[in-house]
Amino acid sequence: MDLERKFHPDEIWFTSDTHFHHENILRFCNRPFASITEMNEELIRRWNETVPVDGIVFHLGDFCFGGSKEWNDVLYRLNGKIFLILGNHDMKSIRQGYMGRFEHVTQQMCIRVAGQTLVLNHNPFLAYGGAYRDVWQLFGHVHSGPRANTGLDHPRLQYLFPRQYDVGVDNNDYHPITFYEVKSKIEEQIRKAQDAAGVPVFENNKVRVIVFLDPAVAPQTVE
């Protein structure tokens, strides 16, 4: 993992799984585009209307299919400085001809934004450093979202922590999202988990409450 870097919340965006030039993704994820050309153009348009020229984008993998021509065709049209966290499809496509266009290329990053620590990886983790200390993990890969929950990983999403979030385009209206949007979504997930956590249990005429905030955390019993 990279050493932790600090970023200002107003300057950063997150996205994943754009799959530029990947024609089969239209069918796999039920994307609402008539052709791969239409998808590429719409993803580029939504990216550039969201991210300013001097913005910073953390792309959490599966950026593009094809070779140097396809990657460069997209890269030189996108706003911002792009940090690429490699996805499983990127590993077989990376070339020297366009890797220099990225600000940084790595397998995983740990960043700090407005006092919040975030672990960035292509895949969601069952366990990660700081999971029980309010560290967030952002990921892609699973293509969750209102149209795309059809993959083999979908049943496993029930085991995610409230502090994990899929920043992939299928889950975020096909555009990058801000730190503030991520914060709002994670806080809402935590609130829902807390609402579901207070389960009263009656034992020996005493009311006990099961506190169960994260699926993988052993419940604590409170008198």
pLDDT tens-digit profile of 181-198? 999 999 999 888 877 765
Cβ within 8 Å of residue 214, ≥6 positions away: 131, 132, 161, 162, 163, 193
Domain region containing 192: 5-196
Determine, yes or no, domain membership for 223.
no
pTM (predicted TM-score): 0.87
Two structure tokens written together for 194: 């807390």
Which residues lie closer than 8 Å to 98 by C-beta, 6 or more apart?
Answer: 68, 71, 72, 75
Residue 33 lies in a domain: yes
In a domain, 210, yes or no: no
State residue 192's pLDDT score. Answer: 83
How high is the pLDDT of residue 128? 86
Phi/psi of residue 170, each to 5°? Answer: -65, -25
Contact 86, 94 (CB under 8 A): yes
Q: What's the pLDDT at 221?
A: 44
Quote the tokens at residue 198.
């207070």
Q: What is the rounded CA–CA span in Å between residue 154 and residue 156?
A: 5
Rounded to whole angstroms, the Cα distance separating 181 from 92 reads 32
The low-confidence residues of the chain, meaning pLDDT below 50, are 1, 210-213, 215-223
CATH at 135: 3.60.21.10
**Short-list 140, 103, 146, CA closest to 17:** 140
- Partnered with residue 109 across adjacent β-strands are 120
| Assigned domain for 205 exists | no
| Tens of pLDDT, residues 110-141 | 999 999 999 999 999 988 888 878 899 999 99
Domain count, the chain: 1
Whether 213 maps to a domain, the answer reads no
Is residue 217 situated within a structural domain? no
DSSP 18-39: --BT-TTHHHHTT-S-SSHHHH
**DSSP per-residue string spanning the chain:** -PPPEEE-GGGEEEE----BT-TTHHHHTT-S-SSHHHHHHHHHHHHHHHS-TT-EEEE-S--B-SSHHHHHHHHTT--SEEEEEP-TTGGGT--HHHHTTSSEEESEEEEEETTEEEEEESS--SS-TTTTTT-EEEE-SS--STTTTTSTTGGGGGG--TTEEE--GGGTTTS-EEHHHHHHHHHHHHHHHHHHH-EEEEETTEEEEEE--STTSPPEEE-
Q: Does 201 map to a domain?
A: no
Domain membership flag for residue 204: no
